[in-house]
Chain A
Amino acid sequence: MFYEQITEWQPRLTESHWASFRGADVERVLARETLRPQDLAVLLSPAALSYLEPMAKKAQALTIRNFGRTMGLFTPLYLANFCSNQCVYCSFHAGNKIVRCKLTVEQALKEGKAITSTGLQHLLLLTGESRTQSGPAYMEECVHALRPMFASLGLEVYPLSTEEYRRLYEAGIDSVTLFQETYDEITYAEVHPAGPKRNYHYRLEAPDRACEAGISAVNIGALLGLSDWRRDAFYSALHADYLQRTYPGVEVALSVPRLRPYAGSFHSSAAPVTDALFVQIILAYRLFLPRAGLTLSTRESPQMRENLLPLGITRMSAGALTSVGGYSETDNVGSAQFEIADERSVPEVVQMIRAKGYLPTFCDWVNMRERNVVAQ
């Protein structure tokens, strides 16, 4: 399991290790065709910060060769925000006094219809962690209802068992998104003081269970800025590499969420991820994993998203709302999970992508479990 790789690398990833790399090391890595984990460490080191331009050029060329000048589009749909966890950085924190609700299947359909009217066909379903309010059976009902409307359905919820993933896969889920938040066990325990999410290992092994259940794509990542970003970025990419090698048939993607303001007062004690460091992380991911998808959410500003687009990003959310019931403005609107920085509409994002010389892609999947879906 991947945890063995973490324990193997843990003693080596010290401040002095990162500081030991020189420009010549970065140049050697940039000349290599395939990169090893030790090369990934070089690209995340302080020395590589002076090489962002050559890294960007290589990352862009690799991305175009592997994915073309295209940008996949998706949007999140929050089904429920009840949560029994106490993640100190999250608005859905059980102790936060926010408006809690969950959509009925009819309301979820209404939301789905509002989303499809924008042309989007890739949907990511989200809930807070509440087995009583939004358990796997509830998710399954929503999946059955929404499946015919979308080219693909992704799921970003709390970690499930293999059997639960299998049932949801059979119901119509194509991909699973799950962030470890931080790979550092001490920080993980600090920022998850109570609730089922405290179980670091159950979360860490969830992508394995999803892959074993037949899910065809997984999207992982760390919440950058929650703990030491360098180690979290290193482990995120190493985790993606592990998943690619262990489950070669599964499409593996990485997300790059940075901490955003939310309804609470958490301030991370870790060093913030500046824009330059953020770019360094994205480029290191791309160079280490040329075939992995890289997903960028609306947590980032329009300007930042525009500038990051050609550096290796392959998928973006567009027109996203993180509140429950927000798209169709039902009476049943729950509070949002985080503030959105890019509030542009789908047509505005599409226009931006075209202006950058890329093809916005609304549809890049076929529902292989049902007949005649595309012929509607």
Chain B
Amino acid sequence: MNDTIQSVNPSDDSLLIGGANLHSRLFVGTGKFSSHEIVPQVLEASGSQVVTMALRRVDWKNPQENILNYMPPNTILLPNTSGARTAEEAVRIARLAQAAGCGNWVKIEVVQDQRYLLPDNWETLRATEQLVKEGFVVLPYMSPDLGAARRLQDAGASAIMPLGAPIGSNRGLQTKELIRILIEEISLPIIVDAGIGRPSEAAEAMEMGAAAVLVNTAIATAGDPVFMAQAFRLAVTAGRMGYLAGPGERRIEAAASSPLTGFLQEG
């Protein structure tokens, strides 16, 4: 990422993905909530413009149960391919989402491991290649691996979404060092997805230079989801501002006020 304080005006710090200028860097998921009625309140409190939902849970036959009917206008829908075990299945779900009017953004989620729900980078890459060719704005959810991220970038992904920890685990940035490398080496926006359990962890990801974070479980399963959505909004903003402000260097020792080599300047 190159947008340091020198190149970006913090007052106009939007994130450009798939032709959209996003002023919110918090993406929100819609799973695990106790009712659909709470979702609009959560979205409003979060300030999020991009909202992900599993196509498998969109109930087309019962309007009252259809999560899409609870989305505020102008929300960018990010259908995800939850349930897909192969690239082919992910491609099929993406096409179904598009045909159903969910737009052309897709978060690819290909999981062949039901214990940890860890993504399969290889199948994810294959699905990305295909869907980019079909004109989708592709945001792949992936295990943070530099080689895979470079291939996803070459395949035409619009952003890279590495996991901080397994989905729903609320364990925070367990893969921090690998995400840091992706932020350094990949020119696409890095959006930390999965694992973020606390607002402070979202702030930390943003301070590191992540372009955005995606949060679902931490908000949906909080005691007060609306209040927690607001907390994440503030944390993401604070973390982003901290990143743009250019934090001072972190040192192991205190900086000596009387330098040991000060005598060299004398006389």
Chain A positions near chain B (C-beta within 8 angstroms): 64-70, 116, 119, 121, 151, 216, 244-245, 248-252, 291, 354, 357-366, 368, 371-376
Contact of A69 among B33, B111, B113, B117 (CB under 8 A): B33
User: In the assembled complex, how far is the CB of residue A239 from the closest CB belonging to chain B, in whole angstroms?
Assistant: 15
Instruction: Give min CB distance, B98 to chain A, whole Å.
Output: 10
Residues in B whose Cβ lies below 8 Å from that of A360: 65
Question: Are B57's CB and A364's CB within 8 A?
Answer: yes
In the complex, which of the residues B84, B89, B100 contacts A375, with contact meaning CB atoms closer than 8 Å?
A: B100
Q: B34 near A357 (CB under 8 angstroms)?
A: yes
B217 within 8 A of A: yes
Chain B residue with minimal CB distance to A363?
A: B59
> Across the interface, do B93 and A65 meet the contact criterion of CB distance under 8 Å?
no
Residues of the A chain whose Cβ atoms lie less than 8 Å from the Cβ of B170: 65
Chain A hits for B32, CB < 8 A: 64, 67-70
Provide the residues of chain A in CB contact with B83, threshold 8 Å.
216, 365-366, 368
Across chains A and B, which 6 residue pairs bring their CB atoms closest together, nearest first?
A: A68-B32, A69-B34, A363-B59, A249-B112, A248-B113, A366-B56
Residues in B with CB closer than 8 Å to A248 are: 112-115
Taking CB as reference atom, which chain B residue is nearest A360? B65
Of B34, B61, B92, which is within 8 A of A363 by CB? Answer: B61
1/0 contact trace for B65-100 toward A, CB 8 Å?
100000000000000000111000100110110011
User: Does B221 lie at the interface of the complex (its beta carbon under 8 Å from any beta carbon of A)?
Assistant: yes
Question: Which of B89, B92, B217: most chain A Cβ within 10 A?
Answer: B92
30 contacts between A and B (CB under 8 A): A65-B217, A68-B31, A68-B33, A68-B217, A68-B221, A69-B32, A70-B33, A119-B61, A119-B62, A119-B65, A248-B114, A251-B114, A291-B114, A291-B115, A291-B116, A357-B34, A359-B33, A359-B36, A361-B59, A364-B56, A368-B84, A368-B89, A368-B92, A371-B92, A372-B96, A374-B55, A374-B96, A374-B99, A375-B96, A375-B100
**Roughly how many angstroms separate A84 CA and B59 CA in the complex, as a whole number?**
39
Tell me the minimal C-beta distance from A109 to chain B in angstroms: 16
**Which chain B positions have C-beta within 8 A of A291?**
114-117
A375 to B92, alpha carbons, bound, how many Å? 13
Partner of B34, one of A119, A358, A364, A365: A358
Q: Which residues from chain A contact B34 at a C-beta distance below 8 Å?
A: 68-70, 357-359
Given A371-B92, A373-B96, A374-B96, A363 and B114 contact (CB-CB distance below 8 Å): no
Give the A-binding residues of B (Cβ under 8 A): 31-36, 55-62, 65, 83-85, 89, 92-93, 95-96, 99-100, 111-117, 168-170, 217, 220-221
Chain A residues within 8 Å of B114, by CB: 244, 248-252, 291
Which of B34, B89, B113 has the largest number of chain A CB atoms within 10 A?
B34
A365: B residues at CB distance < 8 A: 56, 83
Contacts of A252 in B (CB 8 A): 114
For B113, the chain A residues whose CB sits under 8 A away are: 248-249
Docked-complex contact B112 and A64, CB < 8 angstroms: no
Residue of B nearest to A251 (CB): B114
A121 contacts B61, C-beta separation under 8 Å: yes
Given contacts A70-B31, A374-B60, 5 further A-B contacts (CB under 8 A): A65-B170, A67-B32, A216-B85, A357-B34, A364-B56
Nearest B residue (CB) for A372: B99
A101 vs B221: C-alpha distance when bound (angstroms): 47
Residue from B56, B85, B115, B221 in contact with A65 in the complex, judged by beta carbons closer than 8 Å: B221
Q: How far in angstroms is the closest Cβ of chain B from A290?
A: 9
Q: Which residues of A contact B95 (CB under 8 A)?
A: 371
Q: Which of A67, A119, A291, A374 is packed against the most chain B CB atoms within 10 Å?
A: A374
CB-based nearest A residue for B110:
A249
Q: Which of B31, B36, B85, B96 contacts A249 (CB 8 A)?
A: B85
Q: List, in ascending order, chain B residues with CB within 8 A of A251's CB.
A: 114
Complex: A192 Cα to B220 Cα, angstroms: 47
Give Cα A39–Cα B112 distance, bound, in whole angstroms.
27
Give the distance in Å from the alpha carbon of A249 to the alpha carbon of B217 in the complex. Answer: 22
> What A residues does B33 contact at CB under 8 A?
68-70, 359
Specify which of A363, A372, A373 lies most central, judged by the most chain B CB atoms within 10 Å of its CB: A363
Question: Please, how many angstroms separate the alpha-carbon atoms of A252 and B11 in the complex?
Answer: 49
- What is the minimal beta-carbon distance from B75 to any residue of chain A, in angstroms? 19
- In Å, the complex CA distance between A354 and B36 comes to 11
